[in-house]
Amino acid sequence: MGLYDMARRVNAVRKAYLKKQAGKVLSPVRRIERVFPPKSGRYVAMTFDDGPDALTVEGRDRGLTDIILEELSKYDAHVTFDVIGTTDGNYPDEKGADGTFMWSGNAFDHYPCFGMDKLGGAMNRPELIGRILEAGHEISNHGTTHTLFGKMRAVYGARHHLETLSQVVKELQGLHQYMLQEFGYRMRLGRPAHYIDKIPDGSSAYDAYRVMGYNYMAASFDGAGWQPLPSYSEEVSAMVEPMRKALREDPECLNGRIIFQKDGCNMARRTPIADALPQQLQILAEYGYKVISVSDLLDMSPFEDLSPDAPQMAAIKDLLGREHTVGYKNNTYAPDRPITTDEIYIMLAKPEVLRAERPMGPRELCAAAMKNVGLDITGTSGNELLAVLDRAGAGTDALRLSLRDKRAVTRLEAAPFIASLSRALES
């Protein structure tokens, strides 16, 4: 694992740079890792990948998903299950070696284990999906077959992967349509298999999620347990003690964050989450945390850099609720940044205009938005925006007063203007 750990450290530096760059262009898809800490209490979102899982846990008489659901219910915790459809079509294949990244299969992934695919996945275990939804949890899209979106030779060698954006969209649509047809449930979040974003045809997971109308569900705290250690007890400890230590040093450190967990085996085919989760939930409760789903966290506080108590938040949530593009790719809002005409057009555009099944750069995105809006916006001073409201017959007296004679309108100040104008254009 040493080489992988080194690669992760190098990748962390690269990701920090990319995150900074992602804060420069508005995007229909935001990468959600954490949000501005809510002021009303301590809230943390928890996610579980790779389930549902009906494989009987060693020493228990039930499957892992049932165990997780029972423990969550004891704390009135509601989480996001990042589920797959089924891996039982991922053959021919050979069993991988325990303790390696190929543990579940050499050519494909198999959940919950190689040769036991019928015990896992939403399409094989609809009864578990029913229990998850009945308990009030959220479900997100981890891929119909958990096939890699692209290659990562350093870790997964020649493992099979998809080649084009169309193939990735099809991979997501299989599970999406199943959840709609069987449960009347629309998923709004996705996480790529093994976090591989780049698709060989030059597109990315962000393009696929744009087409699907999803946000990219990432995480900012690793619940651990997925890497093998010498013993099961050490794996459990590695899931519990870092959380305990982090909260002891700073009780607020998890407020507004997303925790990554697994609803499945680790690389050693063990399930430390079964014994670690009760301890994690107890620790979180001791520090006054409420465990909620990712979407509930976003409803409470949508962005990393904007307090949910901002007076313009009602207008921003109105736009988000109608699926308008509002924030930047790195889930920032940049409230003090001056608004530009390009950004106004993008924020006004109807959601379906920005979901064409092909990659769009910033300029093409803006051009599509301008064509869709069909309104001439020549400047961004307060009085110029007031003139736009006059032509559209929109805006309240309070909004007009807030804009009048402003030389430069910030993105935060512009939110009520855009919300009001978008509703006028829709009517």
Q: SS3 sequence, 123-176? A: CCCHHHHHHHHHCCCEEEECCCCCCECCCCHHHHCCCCECCCHHHHHHHHHHHH
User: How far apart (Å, rounded) are the C-alpha atoms in residues 103 and 50?
Assistant: 14
| Structural domain for 120, as ranges | 37-297
pLDDT for res 18: 64
Domain membership flag for residue 119: yes
Contacts of 407 (CB under 8 A, 6+ apart): 381, 382
Looking at 297, 323, 353, the residue that finishes a domain is: 297
pLDDT for res 367: 83
Q: What is the pLDDT of residues 351-401, one digit of tens each?
A: 888 888 877 777 787 788 888 888 889 899 999 999 999 999 898 999 999
Domain membership flag for residue 355: yes
The verdict on 318 and 286 lying in the same domain is: no
Share of the chain above pLDDT 90, in %: 84
pLDDT for res 359: 74
Mean pLDDT for 324-348 is: 95
The verdict on 275 and 404 lying in the same domain is: no
The verdict on 94 and 151 lying in the same domain is: yes
pLDDT for res 190: 98
The verdict on 203 and 248 lying in the same domain is: yes
The verdict on 257 and 363 lying in the same domain is: no
Contacts of 95 (CB under 8 A, 6+ apart): 105, 106, 114, 115
Residue 125 has pLDDT above 80, yes or no: yes
Residue 6 has pLDDT above 60, yes or no: no
Of 236, 291, 288, the C-alpha closest to 258 is 291
CATH of residue 236's domain is 3.20.20.370
The verdict on 57 and 136 lying in the same domain is: yes
Of 147, 122, 120, the C-alpha closest to 205 is 147
Looking at 297, 322, 355, the residue that finishes a domain is: 297
Q: What is the pLDDT of residues 140-175, one digit of tens each?
A: 999 999 999 999 988 998 899 999 999 999 999 999
The verdict on 141 and 266 lying in the same domain is: yes
Domain membership flag for residue 30: no
pLDDT for res 238: 97
Domain membership flag for residue 31: no
The verdict on 118 and 235 lying in the same domain is: yes
User: How far apart (Å, rounded) are the C-alpha atoms in residues 149 and 414?
Assistant: 37
Domain membership flag for residue 414: yes
426 — pLDDT class (breaks 50, 70, 90): confident
Token pair belonging to 317:
């949530």
User: How far apart (Å, rounded) are the C-alpha atoms in residues 322 and 317?
Assistant: 9
User: How far apart (Å, rounded) are the C-alpha atoms in residues 38 and 42?
Assistant: 7
The verdict on 275 and 350 lying in the same domain is: no
Helices 411-426/313-321 angle, 10° precision: 40
Q: Contact 256/199 with Cβ under 8 angstroms?
A: no
User: How far apart (Å, rounded) are the C-alpha atoms in residues 408 and 105?
Assistant: 57
Residue 127 has pLDDT above 90, yes or no: yes
Looking at 273, 297, 321, the residue that finishes a domain is: 297
Q: Provide the 3-class DSSP secondary structure of residue 45.
A: strand
Domain membership flag for residue 256: yes
**11 or 108, which is more confident:** 108
The pTM for the full model equals 0.94
User: How far apart (Å, rounded) are the C-alpha atoms in residues 335 and 349?
Assistant: 20
The verdict on 238 and 312 lying in the same domain is: no
Residue 16 has pLDDT above 70, yes or no: no
Domain membership flag for residue 6: no
The verdict on 107 and 84 lying in the same domain is: yes
Q: What is the CA radius of gyration of the chain?
A: 23
The verdict on 278 and 195 lying in the same domain is: yes
Domain membership flag for residue 194: yes
Total domains in the chain come to 2
